[in-house]
Amino acid sequence: MVSLQHPDVHWFVPVELSKRGGTSTGDADKQVDLVADALAEEMAARREQPLYAPVVGLASHPVASVRLLLKRLALTPAMGTKKVFIVGDAERLIPQLGTEVAANALLKALEEPPADSVIIITAADPNALLPTIMSRVVLISVARIADSDVTVFAQQTLGIGDKAELAQRVTAAEGCIGKLFATVTGRSGQPADDQAARFLEAPWLFALGQVPFQARGGFTDMLDALAGRLRSEAKRGGDTDKLVEAIALVLDARDLAQGNVNPQLLAAVLAGDLQGTRRS
């Protein structure tokens, strides 16, 4: 269990199928196979590095993940008398507003799971889950960790020595170790969330400041953080239609960033498109 490899414990975490050409909905069985491979790789990475970063902007629980879970529900336990299914970051069952297919597919299993199975759902923001899912689960709140313990972890594990940065990060964590990683410096040398804030404040200047190559890496991290910011704004009650359109534009840009594109041009085009959504 400690090594995340017990045969009766099935981990389901958000994955990014677009990296595997898994955006097509034509072959359901192929999609399930792609999800199984993606989950195996992600869990192998987490065994190597248990302290992993927050979920990136495009990662989600696609409906193929739920289909894989349903298939495994029908299996007989390999070693014990029970099977355990852990669905992490369950907010990503709905990666953006209006995409509840995967969440709805899970409802039947939550309502009537097999007698030999237990399903555990984890979520940092339970309000982001469908009301129908909330009505089918037993809610268990995890108490916040003392700031003194978060401080020790930040110092000893993350190596944060600057007192001002340490105090800021511990306060922002709000008693949650995981939140410490939300501002970990990305591959560009600057926190991705800070870059997203810069883009929102002055998109054209941000675009001019990008190198004309290598869209993957820090620029992609910024797009992930930007999508996260827009989702948070939507959850807080922002203009739903405009935010859904804006999120879609960011995700399209994120897809393009995986190819051989110019980050300056891509950022400039995205800035113009997002400005258009605000005017409409």
- Give me the CATH number covering residue 105: 3.40.50
Number of folded domains in the chain? 3
Mean pLDDT of 17-26: 60
Clarify whether residues 116 and 215 are in a common domain. Answer: no
Start-to-end C-alpha separation, the chain? 52
Shared-domain flag, residues 50 and 70:
yes
CA 44 – CA 271 distance, rounded (Å): 37
User: Is residue 78, in this structure, part of any structural domain at all?
Assistant: yes
Across the chain, how many H-helices and E-strands are there? 11, 3
Would you say residue 30 lies in a domain?
Answer: yes
Shared-domain flag, residues 33 and 121: yes
Q: Are residues 102 and 211 in the same domain?
A: no
Residue 210 lies in a domain: yes
Q: Where are the alpha helices (DSSP H) in the chain?
A: 28-48, 63-73, 101-111, 131-134, 147-156, 163-173, 192-201, 203-208, 218-235, 240-257, 263-279
Which whole number is the average pLDDT over 156-171?
85
Shared-domain flag, residues 18 and 98: yes
User: What would the pLDDT profile of 116-151 be if each residue is shown by its tens digit?
Assistant: 999 999 987 787 788 899 999 999 988 889 999 999
Task: Report the C-alpha gap between 201 and 207 in whole angstroms.
Answer: 12
- Is there a domain that residue 1 lies in? no
Q: Look-up: residue for tokens 């014990």?
A: 80
Note whether 110 and 18 are same-domain residues: yes
pLDDT value at residue 189: 43
Shared-domain flag, residues 159 and 210: no
pLDDT band at 211; cut points 50, 70, 90: low
* Residue 241 pLDDT level (bands cut at 50, 70, 90): confident
Would 3 be classed as within a structural domain? no
Same domain, 104 and 36: yes
97 or 29, higher pLDDT: 29
* Same domain assignment for residues 204 and 122: no
**pLDDT averaged over the chain?**
82
Same-domain pairing of 257 and 237: yes
Enumerate the β-bridge partners of residue 86: 11, 120
* 118 three-state secondary structure: strand
Q: What is the pLDDT of residues 186-209, one digit of tens each?
A: 444 456 777 888 888 888 888 877
Q: Are residues 192 and 267 in the same domain?
A: yes
Percent of the chain having pLDDT more than 90?
A: 26
Count of CB atoms situated within 10 Å of the CB of 20: 15
Domain that holds residue 114: 9-134
Which span out of 151-160, 184-193, 229-238, 251-260 was modeled with the highest average pLDDT? 151-160
Residues 85, 191, single domain; the answer is no
Give this prediction's pTM.
0.63
